[in-house]
Amino acid sequence: MSFRHEAGIARTPDRQPMKFDLHLHTSRHSPDSETDPFDLLRAARKAGLDGVVLTEHDYLWPEEELEELRAAEPGLVILGGIEVTGRGGDMLVYGITDASTLPRGIGWGDLVKEVHRQGGAAVAAHPNRWGQPFERVVRDSGAAIDGIEVMSNNMDDELRREAQDLLKSYPHYAQLGNSDSHAPWSVGCCCTLFDAEIRTSAELVTAIRARKCRALVNRG
């Protein structure tokens, strides 16, 4: 079988890469967001996304509410994650079912251990933002995180360069691109291209851990 490559992601005749935004906030569950959930879905389709992961601050969407959104946009993969306000910085968490074990202020070491215990993946959001000493936090906490966000609407050029440099020191990290959107206009501005079929949180976690993904600025 022959393969074509698009931006480092293998494409086969029977599977197309999937484009996801995995860091999104809505006004329903994040007080600093102005985005109605249904406006977010419309913006995601306009941005050409195949899927979204809603990652509210320290809150995991209930499945019944996610089903409400899926009914409105059946062609879009809609999953729930969480942005945990950890001690040392924010952590994007995927594939968990019990957020009560990840309280605000939890240390990164305990956070990542609990995420992995639940079968999830932990990805550091916007590393080095606000003066965060990312490498020191990782070293001191012993956190075996699964990846880092390397670009988002809230990461300027310098932070994006620093994130790329981190991948040289931590080549086992997955790289994610996201919008970190709090307003409809920014949904999907950066995203992650997956060389995998992703319909469930379990499939998302598997793809992140296998590093079957690449961050990119979304051109639509």
Domains and CATH numbers, the chain: 20-210 (3.20.20.140)
Distance CA 157, CA 174 (A): 19
Does the structure show a pLDDT above 60 at 4? no
Summarised one tens digit per residue, pLDDT across range 53-88 is 999 999 999 999 999 999 999 999 999 999 999 999
For residues 69 and 29, is the Cβ–Cβ distance under 8 A?
A: no
pLDDT at 219 (0 to 100): 81
For residues 125 and 92, is the Cβ–Cβ distance under 8 A?
A: yes
Helix (H, G, I), strand (E, B) or coil at 98: coil
For residues 44 and 52, is the Cβ–Cβ distance under 8 A?
A: yes
For residues 155 and 11, is the Cβ–Cβ distance under 8 A?
A: no
pLDDT band at 16 (very low <50, low <70, confident <90, very high): confident
Helix (H, G, I), strand (E, B) or coil at 15: strand
pLDDT at 15 (0 to 100): 66
Helix (H, G, I), strand (E, B) or coil at 126: coil
Tokens of 67: 């089903």
Summarised one tens digit per residue, pLDDT across range 89-117 is 999 999 999 999 999 999 999 999 999 99
The pTM of the full predicted model, rounded to 2 decimals, is 0.92
Distance CA 108, CA 75 (A): 35
Candidate from 5-19, 49-63, 74-88, 128-142 with smallest mean pLDDT: 5-19
Tokens of 43: 């913006």
pLDDT band at 6 (very low <50, low <70, confident <90, very high): very low
Summarised one tens digit per residue, pLDDT across range 167-215 is 999 999 999 999 999 999 999 999 999 999 999 999 999 999 999 999 9
Better-predicted residue by pLDDT, 14 or 179 = 179
Distance CA 42, CA 40 (A): 5
DSSP-assigned beta bridge partners for residue 48: none
